[in-house]
Structures are given as C-alpha cells and as structure tokens.
Amino acid sequence: MDKGMEEAGNLMSAMVQESKAAYDIIRERFGEAVSEFDANPTMPFFEVIDNARWGDIALFMRDNPRLKFNYMACLSGVDYLAEGKLGIVCNFESIGNFTHRIAVKVKCQRDGGSIPSVSCVWHTANWHEREAYDMYGMVFDGHPDLRRILCPEDWTGFPLRKDYQVQETYHGIKVPY
Amino acid sequence: MGLLDARITNRNNVLVTSVDNVMNWARLSSLWPMGFGLACCAIEMMATNASNYDLERFGIFPRSSPRQSDLMIVAGTVTMKMAERVVTLYEQMPEPRYVLSMGSCSNCGGPYWNHGYHVLKGVDRVIPVDVYVPGCPPRPEALIGGLMKIQELVRMEGLGLTRQDALKRLAEKSVDTQQVLDQARRAATA
C-alpha cells in the first residue's frame, strides 16, 4: 500500500472496514498466497498470488464461520494484454450472515495458463466460468463441463480478448460488415 | 363491408373477375406471419399485433409453425448462431413466401455493424428479403406500412409477372418521403 492509499485507509468507510476484517482472517490463514488488501472504496479486493491455492481459499471463504461468503454475486473475465495475463474477478457476499463483501482477483498466463475451477464451491461459478472461457479462453481446471456457452461451439477465437480479430466467414456466411 | 355484402347477396348478383385477382385478394387479406421475434423489434411487433394497432383487421395473424405461415417478419438482431436457424425456418415455409426485414439490425446489422462480431450484418445475406422497414425499432405504423407494401406486392403478382418484376414495379411506385414529411409538419404546426 502506498502512502496515498494509507491515508485513504485511515478514512475507510464502514463497508471497507468490514471487508478489511474479512480479508485479515483470510490473510492469517493463507499468508503469502494472497496479496495485500486493496481498500478500493467501491469494491475492496485482494488478489490470489499462488493461484493453485484458489480452490482452498474459496472453500475457506465459504465455510469459515466468521466469513461465510455463501453468495458469488458475479464472476467476470479480464484481459491484461500488457502483462500477458488473463484473469477473473469474483464478487462475494454473505447473505443472511454478515454484511461484509469482497472481490477476489485471480490471474493466469495468457498462453496456456489455467485457473482452478470453483464451480464445486459455488454452483453459480459453473456457467460464469464457462462464459469467461468463452470470451477470454482461460482454462478452468476441474470444471465439470467447460464448453462455450454463448458463441457457437465451432467459433474461432475469444471475442473479448483485446487483440481479437473477427473471423472472415462462419459456415460460409461473411462475418464482417 | 356489411352493406356491400347485402347488396350482392340480396339481389343474387354475380361478380366477374379473373382468377388471379381473386387469388391475390385472398392471399393478401390473410397474410399469416410466423410468430417469432429476435430482439426489441419483436416487442414492437407484438404491440402491433395487439389491440391498439390490431393487425387482425388486415387478416394478419401470427402462426406458431413455419408450415402454416406465408410471411416471415425478421424482427430483431440476427446473430450468427441464429442465422442458420432462420434459414431452416425460411426453408420450412411453403411457397409463395414473403420476408419482411424489420429494423436496422436485420436490415444491415444496425448498431452492431462494426464491433458486433456475433451479429449477421443484414438478414439478406442468408435469405431473400422483399421489404425492408427502417427504424430502431420501427414504430408500429412503420411496420404496418411495410406490411402494406407486402400486400401491394402480392396484388401485383400473377401469371406472367415474376417476383423480381413485381419488386421492381413496387420500387418504381415509391413514395416521396419529403412530401409526406412536409405535409405532416404543416399539419402539426397549423
């Protein structure tokens, strides 16, 4: 955290403070496998550094009695072209237990990288991971049914990658205008 | 209508006309579109079918099967995935069949023309289109205007006049839009 962030941290809103408390529990358990806490006022988040442990972290977040993140609100994909990475951003809430919420980022290599699937932890992740795969092409290890979900199954390329070039024809039909 | 009927039936009159005319009158008075919509244009199409605009007064009534319909209203964004299904549906319709392309998306890709990797840039790339209705989405009045065009097209067709010739003649009979606009503006400001 840089100096500016620290100053902002002193003025953390109640919402961010709750997220920080939840993060501290995760940090205590997983140490260096997770990054520093980012007190983003809109959506506080942390990043999973050792992405092989993402499955354990997910289970811990769901089952720990002080966390109980039982609701995955969203899972989005991101293309970090400059870093040569792809990533996901997951938003979690704890419905009926706590008011805290937090976002988790997981990244993998752009070429041939993979992220552990958490579809067995939150069933919501099943289709969300398929969508992220469909649009960005990162592989989710251990996903029960990793197929494209929106594009046709024989589509070429991953449309939301920043260097995506649309294919010329699809089944003999011209695609570009 | 009722009065006309009474005048004919009460006096045991006979109407003389050509078979062509009767056939065309029957076809254009009962255009059955296929009941399917693809995007927001479909909402407008449903509104046109409903009581306010009441398409049934023209005998236009959506059917649930392509085999019972003779008009396809392509109402909305045709995705690449849907394009092949649209072709299948078109092929399942019995001839003579008509296609009305409703709204910018099915005319030419609309707002997706450049960055919409998943959108077919005009349904006329996969099936022949008879009438295009511009708009995003077109108002019910515009859709009814398009349907009137289809009716004109049906009326023109007959022995010895192909669909292409009829379409050409229909294009020649185009309306001067500027004149209509001026007229509407004068009426609005008067």
ipTM over 0.85: no
pTM above 0.90, yes or no: no
* DSSP secondary structure string for all residues of B91-115: HHSPSS-EEEEEHHHHHH-GGGTTT
Closest alpha carbon within chain B to A159: B117
Could you tell me the two tokens for A18?
Answer: 């709750």
Residues 6+ apart with CB under 8 A from A132: A75, A76, A77, A88, A138, A140
State yes or no: pLDDT of B107 exceeds 90. yes
| Neighboring chain A residues of B80 at a CB cutoff of 8 Å | 152, 170, 173, 175
A 10 A CB-CB count for A90 gives 26
Q: How confident is the model over A105-115, as a mean pLDDT?
A: 91
Contact B80 A152 (CB under 8 A): yes
**pLDDT of B128:** 93
Q: How confident is the model over A96-101, as a mean pLDDT?
A: 91
To the nearest whole percent, how much of chain B has pLDDT over 70? Answer: 92
Q: Please report where in the chains the tokens 């010739």 appear, as a residue.
A: B165
Q: Which amino acid is at B133?
A: V
Closest alpha carbon within chain A to B83: A173
**pLDDT of B19:** 83
Q: Nearest-CA distance from B172 to chain A in Å?
A: 28
- A62 and A72 Cβ atoms separated by less than 8 Å: no
Q: Which amino acid is at B67?
A: R
Contact A177 B118 (CB under 8 A): no
Lowest mean pLDDT among A128-137, B137-146, B153-162: B153-162
Contact B81 A159 (CB under 8 A): no
Distances (CA, A) of B33 to A37, A147, B63: 59, 36, 6
- B19-55+64-154 folds as Rossmann fold (3.40.50)
To the nearest whole percent, how much of chain B has pLDDT over 90? Answer: 54
Contact A175 B109 (CB under 8 A): no
Domain layout of chain B by residue ranges: 19-55+64-154
| Neighboring chain A residues of B81 at a CB cutoff of 8 Å | 151-152
**pLDDT of B1:** 46
**pLDDT of B45:** 93
Closest alpha carbon within chain B to A154: B81
| Neighboring chain A residues of B113 at a CB cutoff of 8 Å | 177
CB pairs under 8 A between A and B: 27
Candidates A156, A167, A170, partner chain B, best to mutate (most B CBs within 10 A): A170
Confidence of residue B162 (pLDDT cuts 50, 70, 90): confident
State yes or no: pLDDT of A1 exceeds 60. no
Closest alpha carbon within chain A to B84: A171
pLDDT in tens, B164-188: 888 888 888 777 778 888 888 898 8
State yes or no: pLDDT of B8 exceeds 70. no
Q: Nearest-CA distance from A159 to chain B in Å?
A: 7
pLDDT in tens, A7-43: 554 678 888 999 999 999 999 999 889 999 999 899 9
**pLDDT of B11:** 62
- Mean pLDDT (chain A) is 90
- Mean pLDDT (chain B) is 87
- How far apart (Å, rounded) are the C-alpha atoms in residues A113 and B123? 39
Contact A151 B118 (CB under 8 A): yes
Could you tell me the two tokens for B28?
Answer: 């254009």
Q: Nearest-CA distance from A52 to chain B in Å?
A: 34
Q: Which amino acid is at B118?
A: H
Which residues of B have a CB under 8 Å from any CB of A? 80-81, 83-84, 108-109, 113-114, 117-118, 120-121, 125-126
Of the partner residues A159, A164, A173, the one whose CB lies closest to the CB of residue B125: A173
Lowest mean pLDDT among A11-15, A124-128, A136-140: A11-15
Q: Nearest-CA distance from A169 to chain B in Å?
A: 10
